[in-house]
Amino acid sequence: MYIQRELKKIFHFCRDQFAAVLITGPRQSGKSTFLKHEMKNVPYITFDDPLNRDFALSDPNGFLDQFKGKPVILDEIQYIPEILQYIKIRIDRRKQPGIWIMTGSQQFHLMGNINETLAGRIAVIELCPFNFNEADVHKKQIADIAWTGFYPEPVCYPQKRDMWIKSYLQTYLERDVRQIGSIRDIRSFEMFINLCAAFHSQEFHPADLARDCGVSQPTIKSWTKLLEASYLSILLPPFFKNYGKRVIKTPKFYFSDPSFVCYITRQPSAEAAIKGNMGGALFEGLIISEVWKTFYNAGKRPAAYFWRSRGGLEVDLILSANGKLWPVEIKLTSTPSRGHVESLDRFKKLAGSDVSDTGVLVCRTQRKIQLPGNNIAIPWYDFPEWLKGRGEELGSNLD
């Protein structure tokens, strides 16, 4: 059974506007399945196949001529960036939209080649793993969601969860890390990943990680960029407005999928993970990841931050656009109270009511609740719809 993806709307919009469309995103997020479903009866060529790679490299014009100017799907384009310059010539020769549809998972080198060769001719959009709606989280417990994650394979076949994650991470280390980052010390990189999982949803301090891994800070920073380029992590930047004194200026680190955190930190079960010390961190990361997916599915980049003063005042998420700020607290509680929104009130007071007037508490409440100080509590599974409903204020057309 195919699950409809919310990227569909922006994908077909881009097809109508650009000669080439690139869908990137993490491995096994469903890019190939998505395109095969949305573009039925269109030739599908994968460069995972060495025969296709050899043909395209040895005779690029002959390879492209076989499609006779009709739409084609070129999967895993990062394996043969040399073909891009020949596609560029054909686009400039015949400006017809929706012909060259490509996918790629390795963002580092891929995006460099795309920007150099097809700038202005191609639309780039990201297909993430399932979001809340696609994974149908309304029918599931939060513990099971954090345990299974959002990648299509374990969502559809939960019994595969352990072996799938093990294979995914092993393939990532043995294939992607060596190819993208040219990392030779895989053992130290594995230690780095383990430490990152332990610090999930905390401030990111390269000096501490460098000391523990026995490598330099520049190495830690390059490895972090590699995790981001592979869509395995999210770095939530700090909000820099001078609200309060000496605000924290280091980003917060999140794995993009909670199942990786559960697996790497060796959580014994779904219930133990959500009820244990990492429960709040897993829940916070799950919501932050959903924000990224909501923006990406609309073809937008997230305008999202966190804020913390050195005095300990913190707001988990700040959404910013059009001169307005929406502070959001993320708490695992099922019983929202005045104490949960104190940081929202303090932030709004510092920012001023003309800049920030409504605070949001995302938690496990079963219904929307109006809280004192013009704050609202929202069920966690309804937060994406609330975010889409703020599309006009956020200037993002999230619907």
| pLDDT tens figures, 258-295 | 999 999 999 999 999 999 999 999 999 999 999 999 99
Tell me how crowded residue 157 is: count the other CB atoms within 10 A of its CB: 11
Domain contains 374: no
The answer to whether 275 touches 267, Cβ cutoff 8 Å, is no
Give the range among 72-81, 99-108, 300-309 with minimum mean pLDDT: 99-108
What percent of the chain is predicted at pLDDT more than 90? 73
Which strands form 20-24's sheet, in the order they lie side by side?
A: 44-46, 72-75, 100-104, 20-24, 122-126
CA distance 308 to 247: 6
Say what the pTM is.
0.92
* CA distance to 147, 169, 181, 306, 366, per residue, from 221 (Å): 28, 20, 12, 20, 41
Tell me how crowded residue 298 is: count the other CB atoms within 10 A of its CB: 21
What percent of the chain is predicted at pLDDT more than 70? 93
Tell me how crowded residue 162 is: count the other CB atoms within 10 A of its CB: 12
pLDDT 10s digits, 19-32: 999 999 999 999 99
Same domain, 102 and 41: yes
Same domain, 18 and 49: yes
**Bridge partner residues of 327 (DSSP):** 318
In this prediction, residue 52 carries a pLDDT of 97
More confident residue, 194 or 174: 194
- Domain hosting 76: range is 8-126
CA distance 233 to 224: 8
Mean per-residue pLDDT of the chain: 91
Same domain, 219 and 180: yes
Q: The CATH number of the domain where 37 resides is what? A: 3.40.50.300
Q: Which residues contact 363 (CB under 8 A, 6 or more apart)?
A: 330, 331, 332, 333, 334, 336, 340, 377, 378, 379, 380
pLDDT band at 91 (very low <50, low <70, confident <90, very high): very high
Distance of CA 181 to the CA centre of its chain: 20
pLDDT surpassing 70 at residue 106? no
CA distance 236 to 204: 10
- End-of-domain residue from the set 81, 98, 126: 126
Residue type, 175: R
- The pairing of strands 375-379 and 369-371 is antiparallel
Domain contains 399: no
Same domain, 51 and 88: yes
Domain contains 258: yes
In this prediction, residue 203 carries a pLDDT of 93
Phi, psi at 166, each rounded to 5°: -60, -45
pLDDT band at 109 (very low <50, low <70, confident <90, very high): low
**For residues 64-93, average pLDDT:** 94
In this prediction, residue 274 carries a pLDDT of 97
Overall number of domains in the chain = 2
Same domain, 160 and 112: no
Of 2-11, 165-174, 227-236, where does the model show the most confidence?
2-11
* CA distance to 289, 309, 353, 375, per residue, from 315 (Å): 16, 9, 16, 13
pLDDT band at 394 (very low <50, low <70, confident <90, very high): low
DSSP 240: -
Bin 373: left if φ > 0, else alpha if -120 < ψ < 50, else beta: left
